[in-house]
Amino acid sequence: MKNPILAKRYTEGLAAALESESEFKSVNRELRDFASLMEKDERLGPALLRPFLNSEKKARILDAILKKQAVHAKSARFLGLLLRHGRLEILPGVLAGLPDAWRETRGVRSFEVNSVVPLSDSQKKTLEARLRRMEGRPIHCVYGLDPSLVGGLTVRKGNVVYDVSLKGQLLRLQDLISER
């Protein structure tokens, strides 16, 4: 992504403007559909992203598409905002961060948990209970697999990573040995 900080600002602004879970789901789906359309249509994406195309013509193209798709007013305003500021290229970055930003506005902390093998339901419940206690608020975990960890797991909260993997322990041991 070209500008992750800018995408994050737009993402947080959009998440703050959404008022309900149903509105979030609707806007998220509509924006994803539009991004998919831009990606698949070999003329639309380049036309809207081309810096030399007249901005009024781009706005007419966007309006025609949005009328045809009958999107939510907030979806239309957000896409119009990105278009007017020449930032439609950050839409994929906005969409990647929108679910976490939405949960964050509702007081729910998101964690990304990676392990070598899938965690059992009881392991997930135990981990989530500890994270909830640590954070002092509701949490949401997204689970993934990472065979490079060898054993254990990593837990990511934003830019902070809690590494309790065998790979992490071996790397720390290597650092200790190389310091001597």
pLDDT recorded at residue 46? 86
28 and 95 fall within a common domain: yes
d(CA 53, CA 47): 7
Domain, as residue range, for 52? 4-104
8 and 83 fall within a common domain: yes
pLDDT recorded at residue 180? 72
Last residue of a domain, one of 104, 125, 159: 104
pLDDT recorded at residue 170? 80
* Ramachandran angles phi, psi of 139, nearest 5°: -130, 165
The DSSP letter of residue 77 is H
pLDDT recorded at residue 2? 67
112 forms bridges with which residues in the sheet?
A: 142, 156
CA distances from 29 to 32, 67, 96, 179 (A): 5, 16, 12, 51
Going residue by residue through the chain, which has 180 residues, state the pLDDT in tens, using 9 for 90 and above: 568 889 999 999 999 999 999 999 999 999 999 999 999 988 888 888 888 878 888 889 899 888 888 889 999 999 999 999 999 999 999 999 999 999 999 999 999 999 999 999 999 999 999 999 999 999 999 999 998 888 889 999 988 888 888 888 888 888 888 887
30 and 14 fall within a common domain: yes
Q: Kindly report whether the global pTM for this prediction surpasses the value 0.85.
A: no
Which residues contact residue 25 at a Cβ distance below 8 angstroms, ignoring those fewer than 6 apart? none
Tally of structural domains, the chain: 2
**30: exposed, middle or buried (Cβ count in 10 Å: 0-12, 13-18, 19+):** buried
State which amino acid sits at residue 3.
N
In degrees, to the nearest 5, what angle opens at C-alpha 72 toward C-alphas 70 and 73?
Answer: 110
160 and 127 fall within a common domain: yes
Last residue of a domain, one of 104, 122, 139: 104
pLDDT recorded at residue 55? 85
Strand 139-145 versus strand 109-115 pairing type: parallel
